[in-house]
């Protein structure tokens, strides 16, 4: 019959997968693999736009990018009626994505100010759900992942646990503790009734290796059989091996995808499925296996801090607290600052639109071009506009430069 290209009955796609290397700045001459297939469904790209962070009612500096949060919810098989839990809920970005698919959500955070107070009237976690007419969480807890509030005999209540654990660099994790506990005082103490409402419990540093051990143990106990754990794991690209991902006897690795941050650093989107029921023997085996991971993670954390202090996070000298940032003048000399691993992780597309990391991104672009800066954006004569200090052209370039690269494998 006659071919109708404007309204075809079937669409066929040819997809070429290129190698990691480039051909003098151009795509490789020969693709590594070629796929051909028939289109059976398309995604709705307007969903990511609807939930982008620049439109969010309540937003924090570590809010998960909307597109990534939807991807994580998809990996966790979010669906109507499924109960999903985020132990590091923050401003609730991941739970918003899960609620979009009809899931029942629940979250916890060690910072009571985040889950209880927010930033004022109609600017809290609940406001984000009301904004999109989504079912609010069944509960938000002030809870510590290191000392969870669940009964020891509680088992298999969640269909999925989705989270972005603290990585322990600059914006590191916290657990219950304080000067008394660190000094060996373990006796319980009480808070006067008139002080309880405003009391902020003391906390202590919470390393990534300890955080992941607790996370995997919680998932092994509280996930139903077939339930999924989805989380991000930071990695040095050259040193990374698939065996570096921590495991648990009750959990099987289902997917391990890479999000490239810089030439040197990336983070892995890890998806695990519960395949065995939790037992004391499983818990003991997990503790023994974790010791090797703990030693390796200590070495990698030291490497991250050293490169951060040296300003050599993959050769990206963008603005932050420490390290190397060229092109910013202070009097006659140049002072050196830098951008931490955490800044790189959270400098996402939507963050740039929201203006959270615009200033740092523009400085980083100047560094990569080797240009001397005209001063800090928004505070010197190089600034234009009363607020952000970015020209329209610079803001557009910053947004393009900050787009992360995804290599996601959905299962």
Q: List per-block mean pLDDT (blocks of 10 residues) for the chain, which spans 411 residues.
A: 85 81 64 87 86 90 91 96 96 96 96 85 91 95 90 94 80 75 68 82 83 94 97 91 90 95 91 94 78 63 59 39 35 36 41 39 44 38 38 52 40 35
SS3 (DSSP) at 66: helix
**In 3-state terms, what secondary structure has residue 269?**
strand
DSSP bridge partners of 161: 85, 229
CA–CA separation, 140 and 127 (whole Å): 13
How does strand 329-330 pair with strand 251-260?
unpaired
pLDDT of residue 395: 55
Alpha helices, DSSP H, located in 238-388: 280-310, 341-346, 349-354, 358-369
Residue 326: partners with Cβ closer than 8 Å, 6 or more residues away: 317, 334, 366, 367, 370, 372, 373
**C-alpha 246, offset from chain centre:** 17
Task: Give pLDDT, residue 286.
Answer: 81
Beta strands 12-17 and 33-38, pairing class: antiparallel
Give the pLDDT confidence score for residue 185 in this predicted structure.
67
Q: What pLDDT is recorded for position 26?
A: 66
pLDDT of residue 136: 95
Q: Which helix (H) or strand (E) holds 256?
A: strand 251-260
Q: What is the residue-wise DSSP string for 290-329?
A: HHHHHHHHHHHHHHHHHHHHHT-STT---SSSSS--TT-E
Residue corresponding to tokens 């000094």? 183
Rg (CA), the chain: 23
Task: Output the pLDDT for position 392.
Answer: 56
């Amino acid at each position: 019959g006659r071919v109708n290209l404007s309204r075809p009955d079937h669409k066929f796609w040819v997809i070429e997968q290129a190698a990691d290397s480039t051909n003098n700045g151009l795509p490789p001459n020969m693709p590594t693999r070629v796929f051909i297939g028939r289109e059976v469904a398309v995604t709705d790209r307007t969903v990511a736009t609807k939930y982008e962070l620049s439109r969010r009612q309540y937003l924090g500096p570590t809010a998960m990018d909307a597109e990534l949060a939807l991807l994580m919810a998809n990996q966790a098989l979010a669906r109507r009626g499924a109960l999903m839990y985020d132990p590091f809920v923050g401003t609730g970005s991941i739970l918003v994505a899960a609620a979009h698919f009809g899931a029942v959500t629940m979250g916890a955070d060690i910072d009571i100010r985040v889950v209880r107070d927010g930033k004022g009237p109609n600017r809290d976690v609940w406001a984000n759900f009301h904004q999109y007419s989504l079912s609010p969480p069944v509960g938000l807890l002030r809870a510590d992942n290191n000392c969870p509030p669940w009964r020891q005999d509680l088992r298999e209540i969640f269909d999925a646990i989705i989270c972005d654990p603290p990585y322990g660099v600059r914006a590191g994790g916290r657990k219950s503790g304080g000067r008394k506990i660190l000094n060996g005082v373990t006796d319980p103490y009480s808070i006067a009734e008139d002080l309880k409402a405003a009391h902020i419990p003391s906390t202590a540093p919470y390393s990534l290796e300890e955080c992941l051990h607790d996370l995997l143990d919680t998932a092994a106990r509280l996930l139903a059989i077939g339930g999924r754990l989805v989380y991000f794991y930071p990695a040095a690209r050259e040193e990374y091996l698939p065996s570096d991902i921590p495991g648990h006897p009750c959990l099987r690795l289902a997917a391990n995808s890479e999000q490239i941050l810089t030439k040197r650093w990336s983070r892995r989107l890890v998806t695990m499925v519960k395949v065995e029921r939790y037992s004391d023997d499983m818990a003991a085996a997990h503790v023994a296996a974790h010791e090797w991971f703990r030693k390796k993670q200590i070495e990698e954390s030291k490497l991250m801090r050293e490169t951060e202090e040296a300003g050599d996070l993959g050769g990206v000298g963008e603005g932050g607290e420490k390290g190397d940032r060229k092109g910013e003048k202070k009097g006659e000399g140049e002072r050196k600052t830098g951008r931490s691993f955490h800044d790189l992780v959270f400098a996402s597309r939507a963050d740039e639109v929201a203006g959270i990391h615009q200033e740092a991104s523009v400085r980083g672009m100047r560094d990569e071009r080797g240009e001397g800066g005209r001063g800090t954006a928004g505070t010197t004569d190089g600034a234009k506009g009363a607020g952000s200090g970015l020209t329209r052209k610079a803001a557009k370039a910053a947004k393009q430069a900050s787009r992360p690269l995804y290599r996601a494998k959905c299962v």
